[in-house]
């Protein structure tokens, strides 16, 4: 179709009759004409004048969601600017040629396969696995972009993920609530600086409801198998249903699979025994003798929550941990009222926390004054333990922050109570009436709480995920979980992860991480809607390059200073983001099409040539 024939047809047509192809042709013709620059022929100038009338109609049409520019991306904005200029400017050409240079520049960078920007948007079918924090975050991003063909599979009966599963006494988040929340749904009335787990679960439940996700979530439905088939994913659930979708997004969380210790005789225990993330509230702890096994964040929070509630508490410590002393004040009514009524206050405080936490995160990823400062605070905190023997027993053998730093203003106070005991002798076995340590002592208890952590490397398992050419996730991850930019996998087109391998952790807010990742994934899906590609997966080369970069940066991090923890992967390297968390926003700012294997719709095929090869 030539530009002139489109022009003639447009002049004859009403706005309502405009076909998407006409609009596309129109844009292309404007481009062709303005491409002549300041030396445009007189004939072209005359045509441009006549054109303005039709362009005005086109602007009207663009306000029609059917036409597909309801959510203009960067390149669309350039198109819109060209048209606005054409309708209004008296001296159009210099501005137009600048805009065109920009447009061509974008295409050359491989960031804009955008000939389809004016055709009707495609409607993707999207499946999200998991209705935890990150799944909700992704679903809301999609909803806000007008994507409604959306199913969230959740094997449990409620939203909230880890905040639904964990209900143990003393549970709080170790990231300040005013930053551990969605930037687009800030809660003005958090109860505490580090709010209790139930309040956080209720927050995510309310957000899911407020953004209309309830109808999209299939509770009690586990995805057991998902397989890529040419252009789409076939998703099979535990209920026997099969669904086909264009995009599959795993939001299955990091700390999901409880890690049970191998302790002889555990199954012979006559009292109650359960993992911290499966707390049995039918078992009353008041007045009882409770054993807590494990001294990670969970064990420490449990000691604070149980001390004074249970009759006697024993903490079985295999390794001592560093504890950063952070008080957890309750917010006043005045503070909450201010947050409700002062516009911009919540946003400013959110950004303030982000700034501070990203500043402090520097301590994790490179040696220097920040690392020394955090270390000094932990050591000073330890000195508050009065009994030198107890202090010695609580002194870790590694650098502060090598393991995930424990944030607690109350642990050392709790562990010094008369009704709380620290046991540092190893566990030999469990007998029907208690725990026997290697020195032969029987610690008689009524309840054993296993605060022994999670398998943080399981990710989507045990789901059976099969990518292109029948390659399974197990095969792809034979050497450990590896992703491109934390979110995608070579050989698994149109598949994304939230909080995937190497997502920033280390006392940084995972809500902020999930928001960044969701924005990036949405960008890909928006490009699919605009027909820039049918399927996309990162190239193996780009993925290897990214992982090599991470490995090269790891020695600078505090996690590589010699300790074991759930941060360390099977190859002995930390599976964390080795740069400042702000770097995630930079790296996920915009998809690099050149780093991906793309299949493109036939009509865009010629533009695919503009994408630089690896
Ligand atoms: P963590 O941080 O993985 O801590 C698990 C703890 O359990 C840790 O102290 C382990 O000792 C201990 N553990 C594990 N197995 C045993 C056995 N067999 N015997 C004794 N002690 C054992 O899990 P958390 O749940 O506390 O925290 C996970 C994350 O949740 C946390 O980082 C926050 O992000 C929230 P070890 O230190 O390995 O000697």
Query: What secondary structure does DSSP assign to 274-295, as a single string?
Result: EEGGG--TTS--BT-EEEEE--
Of 79, 109, 139, which closes a domain?
109
Q: Which of 253, 258, 294 to mutate to test the pocket of ligand 1 (most atoms within 8 A of CB)?
A: 294
Of 83, 109, 135, which closes a domain?
109
Residue 97 falls within a domain, yes or no? Answer: yes
Do residue 243 and residue 276 come from a single domain?
no
Strands (DSSP E) contained in 347-432 are: 406-407, 420-423, 427-431
Residue count of the chain, please give it: 614
Mean pLDDT, to the nearest integer, of 299-305? 98
Percent of the chain past pLDDT 90, that is, above it, reads: 72
Taking the CB of residue 74, how many other CB atoms lie within 10 A of it? 13
In the structure, what pLDDT confidence band is assigned to residue 25 with cuts at 50, 70 and 90? low
Which residue do the tokens 């076909």 mark?
19
CATH number of the domain where residue 398 is located:
3.50.50.60
Taking the CB of residue 161, how many other CB atoms lie within 10 A of it? 26
Cα 518 from Cα 513, distance rounded (Å): 9
Mean pLDDT, to the nearest integer, of 131-151? 97
Residue 606 falls within a domain, yes or no? Answer: no
Strands (DSSP E) contained in 131-271 are: 150-153, 217-218, 223-229, 232-237, 242-245, 247-250
Q: Are 584 and 591 a contacting pair, CB within 8 Å?
A: no
The alpha carbon of 457 and the centre of ligand 1 are apart by a number of angstroms equal to 14
The mean of the pLDDT values for the chain is: 85
Cα 487 from Cα 501, distance rounded (Å): 8
Residue nearest to atom 3 of ligand 1 (CA): 453
The alpha carbon of 256 and the centre of ligand 1 are apart by a number of angstroms equal to 14
Evaluate: CB of 499 within 6 angstroms of ligand 1.
no
Closest CA to 72 of 526, 486, 390: 526
Do residue 408 and residue 281 come from a single domain?
yes
In the structure, what pLDDT confidence band is assigned to residue 119 with cuts at 50, 70 and 90? low
pLDDT of residue 461: 85
The alpha carbon of 586 and the centre of ligand 1 are apart by a number of angstroms equal to 33
Q: Are 588 and 519 a contacting pair, CB within 8 Å?
A: yes
Minimum mean pLDDT among 356-370, 454-468, 511-525: which range? 454-468
Residue 205: domain span: 126-257+456-588
> Environment class of residue 283 by beta-carbon count within 10 Å: exposed (0-12), middle (13-18) or buried (19+)?
middle
Q: Are 134 and 154 a contacting pair, CB within 8 Å?
A: no
Residue 168: pLDDT above 80? yes
Minimum mean pLDDT among 47-51, 89-93, 218-222, 259-263: which range? 89-93
Residue 581: pLDDT above 90? yes
Beta strands at 464-466 and 420-423: parallel, antiparallel or unpaired: unpaired
The alpha carbon of 330 and the centre of ligand 1 are apart by a number of angstroms equal to 28
Residue nearest to atom 10 of ligand 1 (CA): 294
| Burial per residue of 541-573, b for 16 or more beta-carbon CB atoms within 10 angstroms, e otherwise | ebbeebbeebeebbeebbbbeebebbbbbeeeb
Q: Are 423 and 317 a contacting pair, CB within 8 Å?
A: yes
Cα 418 from Cα 313, distance rounded (Å): 10
Residue nearest to atom 12 of ligand 1 (CA): 294
Cα 579 from Cα 554, distance rounded (Å): 9
Residue 399 falls within a domain, yes or no? Answer: yes
Residue 391: pLDDT above 50? yes
Q: Are 356 and 386 a contacting pair, CB within 8 Å?
A: no
Residue 337 falls within a domain, yes or no? Answer: no
Tokens describing residue 60: 């009207």
Evaluate: CB of 381 within 6 angstroms of ligand 1.
no
> Nearest 10 degrees: CA dihedral of 410, 413, 415, 416?
180
Helix (H) or strand (E) holding 435: strand 434-437
The alpha carbon of 453 and the centre of ligand 1 are apart by a number of angstroms equal to 4
Do residue 41 and residue 90 come from a single domain?
yes
pLDDT of residue 358: 94
Dmax over Cα atoms in the chain, in whole Å?
A: 100
pLDDT of residue 19: 47
Of 433, 450, 467, which closes a domain?
450
Q: Are 601 and 534 a contacting pair, CB within 8 Å?
A: yes
pLDDT of residue 209: 97
Distance spanning both ends of the chain, measured CA to CA: 33
Half-sphere exposure of 104 (CA within 13 A, CB side): 11
Cα 157 from Cα 164, distance rounded (Å): 9
Cα 377 from Cα 323, distance rounded (Å): 9
- What is the sign of the dihedral through the CA atoms of 6, 11, 17 and 18? positive
Which residues, including other chains, have CB under 8 Å from residue 233's CB and lie 6 or more apart?
Answer: 127, 226, 227, 244, 245, 246, 247, 248, 494, 495
pLDDT of residue 150: 98
Do residue 435 and residue 480 come from a single domain?
no
> Environment class of residue 19 by beta-carbon count within 10 Å: exposed (0-12), middle (13-18) or buried (19+)?
middle
Residue nearest to atom 31 of ligand 1 (CA): 297
Tokens describing residue 590: 């915009």
Closest ligand 1 atom number to CA of residue 505:
34
Tokens describing residue 50: 């006549």
Do residue 428 and residue 561 come from a single domain?
no
Do residue 63 and residue 103 come from a single domain?
yes
Mean pLDDT, to the nearest integer, of 543-555? 96
Q: What is the 8-class DSSP label of residue 401?
A: T
Mean pLDDT, to the nearest integer, of 137-150? 97
Closest CA to 222 of 175, 256, 266: 256
Residue 33: pLDDT above 90? no
Q: Which of 296, 364, 429 to mutate to test the pocket of ligand 1 (most atoms within 8 A of CB)?
A: 296
Cα 483 from Cα 517, distance rounded (Å): 13
Directed axis angle between helix 74-88 and helix 42-62, to 10°? 120
Q: Are 303 and 292 a contacting pair, CB within 8 Å?
A: yes
Beta strands at 447-450 and 289-293: parallel, antiparallel or unpaired: parallel
The alpha carbon of 295 and the centre of ligand 1 are apart by a number of angstroms equal to 6
Mean pLDDT, to the nearest integer, of 38-64? 49
Which residues, including other chains, have CB under 8 Å from residue 225's CB and lie 6 or more apart?
Answer: 235, 236, 463, 464, 466
pLDDT of residue 42: 54
Say how many domains are in the chain: 3
In the structure, what pLDDT confidence band is assigned to residue 120 with cuts at 50, 70 and 90? confident
Do residue 293 and residue 423 come from a single domain?
yes
Alpha helix stretches (DSSP H) within 35-161: 42-62, 74-88, 92-108, 133-144
Do residue 516 and residue 441 come from a single domain?
no
Evaluate: CB of 566 within 6 angstroms of ligand 1.
yes
Closest CA to 500 of 555, 574, 575, 573: 575
Do residue 445 and residue 573 come from a single domain?
no
Q: Which of 167, 180, 426, 452 to mutate to test the pocket of ligand 1 (most atoms within 8 A of CB)?
A: 452
Which residues, including other chains, have CB under 8 Å from residue 585's CB and lie 6 or more apart?
Answer: 516
The alpha carbon of 296 and the centre of ligand 1 are apart by a number of angstroms equal to 4
Residue 359 falls within a domain, yes or no? Answer: no
Residue 376 falls within a domain, yes or no? Answer: no
pLDDT of residue 100: 36
In the structure, what pLDDT confidence band is assigned to residue 507 with cuts at 50, 70 and 90? confident
Residue 354 falls within a domain, yes or no? Answer: no
Residue 190 falls within a domain, yes or no? Answer: yes
Please give the residue that has the higher pLDDT: either 440 or 505.
Answer: 440
Which residue do the tokens 């059976």 mark?
464
Mean pLDDT, to the nearest integer, of 407-416? 97
Cα 218 from Cα 220, distance rounded (Å): 7
Evaluate: CB of 165 within 6 angstroms of ligand 1.
no
pLDDT of residue 58: 52
Do residue 12 and residue 135 come from a single domain?
no
Do residue 71 and residue 207 come from a single domain?
no
pLDDT of residue 601: 84
Residue 3: pLDDT above 70? no
Tokens describing residue 343: 């516009």
The alpha carbon of 306 and the centre of ligand 1 are apart by a number of angstroms equal to 18
Evaluate: CB of 407 within 6 angstroms of ligand 1.
no
Minimum mean pLDDT among 112-126, 205-219, 303-317: which range? 112-126
Mean pLDDT, to the nearest integer, of 71-80? 42
Cα 34 from Cα 124, distance rounded (Å): 34
Q: What is the 8-class DSSP label of residue 531?
A: T
Do residue 200 and residue 299 come from a single domain?
no
- What is the sign of the dihedral through the CA atoms of 383, 385, 391 and 397? negative
Mean pLDDT, to the nearest integer, of 164-170? 97
In the structure, what pLDDT confidence band is assigned to residue 141 with cuts at 50, 70 and 90? very high
Residue 65: pLDDT above 60? no
What is the CA 446 to chain-centroid distance, rounded?
39
Cα 404 from Cα 381, distance rounded (Å): 16
Residue 129: pLDDT above 80? yes
In the structure, what pLDDT confidence band is assigned to residue 567 with cuts at 50, 70 and 90? confident
Mean pLDDT, to the nearest integer, of 291-314? 98
Question: Is the pTM for the entire model greater than 0.85?
Answer: no
Which residues, including other chains, have CB under 8 Å from residue 584's CB and lie 6 or more apart?
Answer: 486, 503, 504, 513, 516, 517, 577
């Amino acid at each position: 179709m030539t530009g002139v024939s489109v022009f003639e047809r447009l002049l004859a047509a009403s706005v309502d009759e405009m076909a998407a192809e006409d609009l596309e042709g129109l844009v292309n013709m404007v481009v062709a004409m303005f491409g002549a620059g300041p030396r445009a022929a007189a004939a072209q100038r005359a045509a441009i004048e006549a054109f303005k009338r039709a362009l005005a109609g086109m602007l009207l049409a663009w306000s029609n969601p059917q036409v597909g520019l309801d959510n203009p991306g960067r390149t669309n904005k350039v198109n819109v600017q060209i048209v606005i200029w054409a309708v209004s400017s008296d001296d159009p050409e210099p501005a137009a040629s600048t805009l065109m240079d920009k447009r061509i520049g974008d295409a050359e960078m491989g960031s804009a396969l955008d000939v389809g920007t004016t055709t009707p948007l495609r409607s993707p079918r999207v499946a999200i696995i998991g209705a935890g924090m990150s799944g909700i975050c992704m679903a809301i991003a999609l909803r806000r972009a007008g994507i409604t063909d959306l199913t969230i599979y959740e094997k449990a009966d409620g939203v909230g993920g880890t905040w639904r599963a964990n209900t143990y006494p003393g549970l709080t988040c170790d990231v300040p609530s005013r930053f551990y929340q969605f930037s687009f749904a800030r809660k003005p009335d958090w109860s505490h600086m580090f709010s209790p787990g139930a309040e956080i679960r209720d927050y995510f439940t309310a957000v899911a409801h407020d953004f209309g996700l309830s109808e999209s979530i299939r509770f009690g439905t586990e995805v057991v198998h998902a397989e890529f088939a040419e252009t789409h994913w076939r998703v099979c659930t535990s209920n026997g249903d099969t669904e086909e979708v264009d995009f599959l997004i795993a939001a299955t969380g990091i700390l999901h699979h409880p890690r049970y210790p191998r302790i002889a005789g555990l199954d012979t225990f006559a009292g109650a025994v359960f993992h911290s993330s499966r707390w049995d509230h039918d078992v009353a702890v008041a007045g009882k003798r409770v054993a807590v096994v494990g001294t990670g964040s969970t064990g420490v929070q449990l000691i604070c929550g149980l001390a004074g509630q249970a009759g006697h508490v024993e903490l079985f410590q295999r390794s001592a941990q560093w504890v950063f002393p952070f008080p957890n004040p309750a917010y006043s009514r005045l503070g909450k009222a201010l947050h409700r009524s002062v516009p911009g206050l919540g946003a400013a405080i959110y950004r303030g926390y982000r700034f501070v936490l990203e500043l402090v995160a520097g301590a994790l990823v490179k040696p220097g004054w920040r690392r020394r400062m955090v270390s000094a605070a932990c050591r000073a905190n330890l000195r508050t333990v009065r009994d030198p023997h107890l202090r010695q027993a609580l002194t870790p053998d590694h650098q502060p922050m090598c393991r995930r730093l424990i944030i607690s203003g109350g642990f050392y106070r709790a562990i010094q109570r008369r009704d709380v005991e620290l046991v540092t002798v190893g566990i030999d076995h469990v007998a029907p009436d208690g725990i026997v340590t290697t020195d032969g002592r029987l610690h008689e208890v009524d309840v054993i709480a296993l605060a022994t952590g999670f398998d943080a490397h399981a990710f989507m398992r045990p789901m059976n995920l099969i990518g292109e050419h029948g390659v399974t996730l197990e095969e792809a991850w034979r050497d450990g979980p590896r992703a491109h930019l934390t979110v995608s996998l070579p050989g698994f087109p149109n598949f994304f992860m939230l909080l995937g391998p190497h997502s920033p952790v280390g006392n940084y807010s995972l809500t902020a991480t999930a928001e960044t990742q969701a924005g990036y994934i949405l960008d890909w899906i928006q490009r699919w809607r605009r027909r820039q590609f049918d399927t996309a997966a990162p190239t193996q080369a780009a993925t290897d390059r990214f992982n090599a970069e991470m490995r090269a940066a790891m020695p600078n991090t505090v996690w590589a200073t010699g300790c074991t923890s759930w941060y360390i992967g099977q190859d002995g390297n930390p599976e964390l983001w080795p740069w400042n968390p702000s770097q995630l926003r930079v790296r996920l700012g915009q998809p690099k099409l050149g780093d991906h294997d793309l299949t493109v719709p036939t009509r865009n095929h010629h533009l695919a040539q503009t994408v630089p090869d690896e």
